[in-house]
């Protein structure tokens, strides 16, 4: 059966100009790999919407777009969602905040080396990769989560125990498309 | 939101402007005019022609000079964006960046410094699909510069047609070029598009070409009714 993926658009409003930059590239990568996607603004994600999809990706936002931080309660469905979920950048921050972690200032713009320190189905074996960062904030590691990448400060990637709930701080749509394909194939 | 578009007159900035205009107010176009033909950041052939494109679209143009020295030109870009913020009250900047992390990162940093939004509506778009979209939405684009093997002189001044797009797709497969030219292989100039109230007609142009590098320089042009 074909896996259907819900892309939660975390941008400051529905159909914003930012969606072309943070949501459409992810849809294009996944659909070219054979995984149909549907975009839904995060304020419109409901249990009914979620029921129609096999996996969920929480997409990133523009550097100056922090509106999602004021709406963390809109993601209460995350705690009960029993489906593979990936949070990218702002999406990772939302996952952390929803599970008791905190969003903390940690600006980064550009390509940086990322140290994968723990093996996982999403990122594979420990090694270094180059990733594209675009954020003013990062997120702390909530209780019960494992640090997958990044040794200093906030984690660059995490996983909730052995469950398929992941967060990555960098943008895989730039130079690391394999991560999206790997998530779709989990 | 009131936005300023980093505007070179090439297809990417014109298309980004059109996309941004759908739901935002484009307060001005920002053109950085580089004296350096090999500028890392700024498109150079026909850059002075952006004035007529701005007039065709009815959008104010802020033209800003730079000597085009590698990192100093970024200070000039920041000054240009700051001037657009002060003069036109822009809250954000739009670019036509597609794949270039080099360009995108630098504009993102400038916007962060100036507390402005940054939008890249073509970011990571499939380039061949995008070239076809340009045609289907009514953009008329000509090739104004070639800078890589195997582009022959016949590309200069040629309009971007379906046949040319197919050639670019073939060159992408064979030589790994960026079909949209963002790697510096090609430069373009837009004569008409959905935001143009009048279209541009070229009256006189000159050509220079040698060893797979060449430019199509527009010397005289005018606006005509569509």
Annotated active-site residue A59? The verdict is no
Q: What is the pLDDT of residues A54-101, one digit of tens each?
A: 999 999 999 999 999 999 999 999 999 999 999 999 999 999 999 999
Residues B114, B189 within the same domain: no
Chain B residues in contact with A21 (beta carbon < 8 A): 119-121, 123-124
Which CATH number goes with the domain that contains B207?
A: 3.90.1490.10
Query: Cβ contact (<8 Å) for B109 and A109?
Result: yes
B110 lies in the same domain as B86: yes
CATH number at residue A102: 3.40.50.880
Q: B14 vs chain A: nearest CA distance in angstroms?
A: 15
pLDDT at B66: 82
Given an 8 Å threshold on Cβ–Cβ distance, is B23 in contact with A132? Answer: no
Per-residue pLDDT at B65: 86
Residue B137, pLDDT score:
97
The span from the CA of A26 to the CA of A135, in Å, is 17
Domain count, chain B: 2
d(CA B226, CA B223): 9
Q: Are B169 and B177 in contact (CB under 8 A)?
A: no
How far does B101 lie from chain A, in Å, by closest CA?
Answer: 7
Please tell me whether residues B110 and B135 are part of one structural domain: no
Q: Are residues B111 and B151 in the same domain?
A: no
pLDDT of residue B46: 84
Q: In this structure, are B99 and B138 located in the same domain?
A: no
Task: Print the domain residue range for A130.
Answer: 5-184
CB contact under 8 Å between A21 and B115, yes or no, is no
Which of residues B119, B135, B169 is at a domain's end?
A: B119
Q: What is the mean pLDDT of residues B114-124?
A: 97
| Alpha-carbon gap, residue B215 to B149, rounded angstroms | 14
- Asked which of B94, B119, B144 is the last residue of a domain, the reply is B119
pLDDT of residue A152: 78
Percent of chain B with pLDDT over 90: 83
Task: Note the pLDDT of residue B38.
Answer: 64
Is the interface score ipTM higher than 0.90?
yes
Catalytic residue among A11, A89, A133, A135: A89
User: Residue B41: pLDDT band by 50, 70, 90 thresholds?
Assistant: low
Q: Taking a C-beta distance cutoff of 8 angstroms, is the pair B4, B90 a contact?
A: yes
Do B134 and B200 lie in one domain? The reply is yes
- In chain B, the percentage of residues whose pLDDT exceeds 70 is 95
Which of B119, B149, B170 terminates a domain? The answer is B119
> Given a cut of 80, is residue B223 above it in pLDDT?
yes
A11 is catalytic: no
Residue B107, domain CATH: 3.40.50.620
Flag whether pLDDT at B68 surpasses 80.
Answer: no
- Which of A12, A27, A61, A109 is the best substitution to test chain B (most B C-beta atoms within 10 A)? A109
**How many independent structural domains does chain A possess?**
1
Percentages (nearest 5) of helix, strand, coil residues in chain B? 35, 30, 35
pLDDT in tens, B145-191: 999 999 999 999 999 999 999 999 999 999 988 898 888 899 999 99
- The parent domain of residue B15 ranges over 2-119
The three-state secondary structure class of B191 is strand
Of A17, A63, A109, the CB nearest to B23: A17
Cα radius of gyration (chain B): 16
B93 and B134 together in one domain: no
Residues B151 and B210 placed together within one structural domain of the fold = yes
State mean pLDDT over A172-183. 97
Exposure letters B166-204 (e unless 16+ CB within 10 A, then b): eebeebbeeeebbbbbbeebbbbbbbbbebbebbbebee
Assess whether B132 and B47 both reside in one domain: no
Same domain, B131 and B115: no
Note whether B185 and B177 are within 8 A (CB).
yes
In the residue annotation, A28 being an active-site residue is answered as no
Residues of B in Cβ contact (< 8 Å) with A28: 124-126
In percent, the amount of chain A with pLDDT more than 70 equals 99
Confidence band of B39 (pLDDT split at 50, 70, 90): low
Strand order in the sheet with B186-192: B186-192, B140-146, B213-224, B199-210
Model confidence at B73, in pLDDT bands (50, 70, 90)?
confident
């Amino acid at each position: 059966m074909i896996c259907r993926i819900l892309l939660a658009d975390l941008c400051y409003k529905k159909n914003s100009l930012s969606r072309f930059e943070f949501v459409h590239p992810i849809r294009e990568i996944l659909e070219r790999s054979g995984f149909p996607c549907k975009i839904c603004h995060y304020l419109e994600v409901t249990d009914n919407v979620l029921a129609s999809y096999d996996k969920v990706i929480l997409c990133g936002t523009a550097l100056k777009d922090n509106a999602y931080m004021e709406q963390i309660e809109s993601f209460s469905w995350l705690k009960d969602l029993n489906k593979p979920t990936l949070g990218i950048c702002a999406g990772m921050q939302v996952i952390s905040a929803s599970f008791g972690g905190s969003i903390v200032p940690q600006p980064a713009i550009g390509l940086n080396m990322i140290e994968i320190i723990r093996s996982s189905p999403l990122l594979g074996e420990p090694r270094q990769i180059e990733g594209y960062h675009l954020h003013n904030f990062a997120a702390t590691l909530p209780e019960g989560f494992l640090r997958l990448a990044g040794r200093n400060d906030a984690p660059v990637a995490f996983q909730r125990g052995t469950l398929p709930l992941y967060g990555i701080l960098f943008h895989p749509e730039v130079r690391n498309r394999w991560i999206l394909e790997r998530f779709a194939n989990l | 939101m009131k936005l300023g578009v980093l505007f070179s007159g090439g297809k990417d900035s014109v298309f980004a402007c059109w996309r941004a205009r759908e739901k935002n107010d484009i307060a001005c176009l920002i053109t950085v005019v580089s004296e350096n033909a090999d500028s890392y950041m700024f498109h150079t052939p026909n850059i002075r022609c952006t004035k007529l494109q701005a007039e065709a679209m009815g959008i104010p143009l802020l033209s800003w000079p730079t000597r085009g020295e590698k990192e100093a030109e970024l200070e000039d870009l920041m000054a240009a964006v700051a001037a657009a913020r002060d003069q036109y009250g822009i809250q954000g900047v739009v670019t036509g960046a597609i794949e270039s992390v080099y360009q995108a990162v630098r504009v993102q940093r400038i916007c962060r410094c100036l507390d402005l939004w940054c939008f890249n509506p073509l970011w990571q778009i499939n380039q061949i699909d995008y070239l076809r979209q340009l045609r289907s939405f009514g953009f008329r684009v000509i090739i104004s510069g070639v800078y890589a093997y195997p582009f022959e002189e016949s590309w200069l001044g040629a309009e971007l047609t379906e046949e040319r797009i197919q050639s670019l797709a073939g060159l992408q497969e064979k030589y790994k070029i960026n079909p949209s030219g963002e790697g510096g292989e090609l430069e373009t100039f837009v004569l008409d598009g959905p935001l143009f109230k009048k279209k541009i007609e070229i009256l006189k142009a000159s050509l220079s070409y040698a060893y797979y590098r060449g430019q199509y320089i527009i010397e005289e042009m005018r606006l005509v009714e569509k």
